[in-house]
Chains A and B, each alone.
Chain A
Amino acid sequence: MADTTASLNDGAPEVSSGAPHPKAKKMSKPTRKGISGSGIELAAMIGVGVVFLAAWEFLPPLLDVPRYIIPTLSNCIEEFGNMLQREALLKHFMSTLISALVGFGLGGLLGAASGYLLGLSRLWERVLSPYILALQIAPKVAFAPLFIMWFGYNSIPKLLVTVLVVFFPILVNVLQSMKTVDRDLINLARVYSMNRLTIFRKIEVPSSLPNLFAGLRIGATLAVIGVTVGELVGGNTGLGFLISYGEGQANTAMVFNAIILLTVIGIALYFAVAAVEKRVLHYLERQDH
């Protein structure tokens, strides 16, 4: 909101250069517009949500859509209670959450480490780039059945899928940033007689942080997809398992609930990363918008 107002104010002198308006007037006008504009936006945002929920609740019965096709909001809430009691929902939820977190952490760590290592070595980067490209394009979730064949019906396959899907966007982002570090900054450090490691630590790593975080944000959303696919394909725990279980029982409300909870995990992970990013990259705040 603040930046909208600022940019409007920045524009004001240009607009006014032809017509001599009193300064106070033209300054206050855009500001007021900015505030009320965002107020309307917020109201509209909430309105859309309310309309959506109402439609979800009342439209299916009105149109005679059966419960096993589209369960209403209250059906889902009711089923949510059932799941908590009968299906040990908390256990499944935690299993998925932990897999997503661990997979994201490991994938992020490995991806970043590989990105930095490849970024340090022109030669290896060139040698490995076609393979990285191939692996990056390969649909990682398709590996899930393979991992189940190798490791069995436990939590390793879904973790591996998650690590794999998180790994590449972060690797690619970090590698990209290592290649685009300002040469002049590196030259400056060299003139100050800094060695390779110091340059890496003091110039290259900090320069790459915005890209690293962009990769982490993508990774955060992909992590949930990885876990879900891993759980859908095999296993007997997790929200992904509940989806296939609910499907087998024609319990559509259960499927809906599991999808919603997966989304919640994804959103939480994404905003956690974004919050850390905001703290770490605080010095970019102004340049960003």
Chain B
Amino acid sequence: MTSSLELRNITKIFPDQNSGHAITAVENMSFSVKAGELVAVVGPSGCGKSTILNMVSGLYGATHGEVLIDGEVVTGTRPEVGFMLQKDLLLPWRTIVKNVEFGLEEKKMTRAERRERAMEELARMKLAEFADKYPHQLSGGMRQRAALARTLVIQPDIILLDEPFSALDAQTKLVLQRHFARTIAESGVTCVLITHDLNEAVIMADRVVVMSGRPGTVVDEFPIELGNRQDPLARSLEPQAGVYVKRLFDTLHLENQAA
């Protein structure tokens, strides 16, 4: 099952103990994601993208406004939400398969069932032969794939990806984008992808939400009508992709910024 997501007039103010004055990270922000849709969120550094993800995952609440998943207000963390960061967050003391099992450990299932599900997921990520290795024995791309396996094994209704590719080298990134795109399309799960990479947003998403600098709010939002979402590489070759990237570039006023 996949879920829809809606943010309604979200404002998040962080109290700052040191300086005394509060920081408004996002202000009056609204957007929605339909069930099964992949929405990319782009915006300048520090505009509150990660803050949004934390609120959607229920780690903390909004100061004003509400987050709804399937029309229900999010009040805390919930097991149907998958969560992935730039860091793989694999536990170094666990083998890969044990890491994948991590998210299943709070579910009622036997050890054998857990192992079976985890191995299935690893096979899908083409990591089965590395099941008994430790994270440090894997490359960055493999670790990120293992992290995706851990995220998907719980069969989430919605997954939140916070710059999952940004720590990878260019080549690994391309391969992994394709792999993620395929896997996510196959599972049909709703997905929010946060990224710095405008090209990545265009080739991976059904729709892009553009945020302003802090305090972050939505300044543009448009669908990517390229089809073929499971193949970002093919998408990136289409001339229309460049047009979308240009539009993002212009909206973010990148040409005026000093390097």
Q: Which residues of A contact B (CB under 8 A)?
A: 182, 184-185, 187-188, 190-194, 198, 202-203, 206, 209, 283-284, 286-287
The contact string, 1 if C-beta is below 8 Å from chain A, for chain B 147-165, is 0000000100000000000
Instruction: Check A283–B93 contact: CB distance below 8 A.
Output: yes
Closest approach, in angstroms, between the C-beta of B8 and any C-beta of chain A? 21
- Give residues 119-158 of B contacting A (CB, 8 Å): 134, 136-137, 154
Alpha-carbon distance A193/B136, docked complex (angstroms): 26
CB within 8 A of A287: which of B82, B87, B136?
A: B136
**B16 nearest CB across to chain A (Å):** 17
22 contacts between A and B (CB under 8 A): A184-B85, A185-B89, A187-B54, A187-B57, A188-B89, A190-B77, A191-B59, A191-B77, A191-B79, A191-B82, A192-B79, A193-B79, A194-B106, A202-B105, A283-B92, A283-B93, A283-B134, A283-B136, A284-B92, A286-B137, A287-B92, A287-B136
A287 contact set on B, CB distance < 8 A: 92, 136
Pair B58/A191 contact, Cβ less than 8 Å: yes
Q: Which residues of A contact B91 (CB under 8 A)?
A: 185, 202-203, 206
Neighbouring A residues of B106 by C-beta, 8 Å:
192-194, 198
Given the complex, which residues of A lie within 8 Å of B57, measured CB to CB? 187, 191
Q: Would you call the interface of chain B mostly helix, strand, loop, or mixed?
A: loop
Q: Is the Cβ of B103 less than 8 Å from the Cβ of A192?
A: yes
Residues of B within 8 A of A (CB): 54, 57-59, 77-79, 81-83, 85, 87, 89, 91-93, 102-103, 105-106, 134, 136-137, 154
**How many A-B pairs fall under 8 Å by CB?**
53
**Inside 8 A of A184's CB, which chain B residues have their CB?**
85, 87, 89
Minimum-distance CB pairs A-B, first 10? A191-B83, A283-B134, A206-B93, A193-B79, A192-B103, A191-B77, A190-B77, A283-B93, A191-B57, A188-B89
**C-alpha gap A96/B226 in the complex (Å):** 78
Looking at the assembled complex, report how far the CB atom of B200 sits from the nearest CB atom of chain A, in whole angstroms. 21
Across the interface, name the chain A residue whose C-beta is closest to B103: A192
Cβ A188 vs Cβ B136 within 8 A: no
Report which of B93, B105, B136 forms a contact with A286, defined as CB distance below 8 A.
B136
Closest partner residue, chain A, to B154 (CB atom): A192
| Nearest chain B residue, comparing its CB with the CB of A206 | B93
Please indicate the chain B residues that have their CB under 8 angstroms from the CB of A190 in the complex: 59, 77
Residues of A within 8 A of B81 (CB): 191
Chain A nearest CB from B77 CB (Å) reads 5
Cα–Cα, bound, A139→B85 (Å): 46
Min C-beta distance of A145 to chain B, whole Å = 44
Q: How far is the CA of A188 from the CA of B54 in the complex (A)?
A: 10
Closest to B57 in A: A191
Task: Tell me which residues across on chain A come within 8 A of B92, comparing CB atoms.
Answer: 283-284, 287
Chain A residues contacting B102 (CB-CB under 8 Å) are 192, 202
The residues of B that contact A194 with a CB separation of less than 8 Å are 105-106
Which of A182, A184, A193, A202 has most chain B Cβ within 10 Å?
A: A193
Give the distance in Å from the alpha carbon of A75 to the alpha carbon of B229 in the complex. 85
A206–B93 Cα distance when bound, in Å, is 7
CB B58 to nearest CB in A, in angstroms, measures 7
Q: How far is the CA of A89 from the CA of B106 in the complex (A)?
A: 57
- A182 contact set on B, CB distance < 8 A: 89
Most buried by B among A190, A191, A193: A191
In the complex, what distance in Å separates the CA atom of A283 from the CA atom of B79?
Answer: 29
Q: Please measure, in the bound complex, the distance between the C-alpha atom of A14 and the C-alpha atom of B242, giving whole angstroms.
A: 38
Residues of the A chain whose Cβ atoms lie less than 8 Å from the Cβ of B82 = 191
- Given the complex, which residues of B lie within 8 Å of A193, measured CB to CB? 77-79, 106
Give the residue name and chain of the A residue nearest to B82 (CB).
Answer: A191
Smallest Cβ distance from A132 to chain B, in angstroms?
23
CA distance A193 to B80 in the complex (A): 10
4 further interface pairs, Cβ-Cβ under 8 Å (given A185-B91, A191-B79, A283-B136): A188-B83, A191-B81, A192-B77, A287-B136
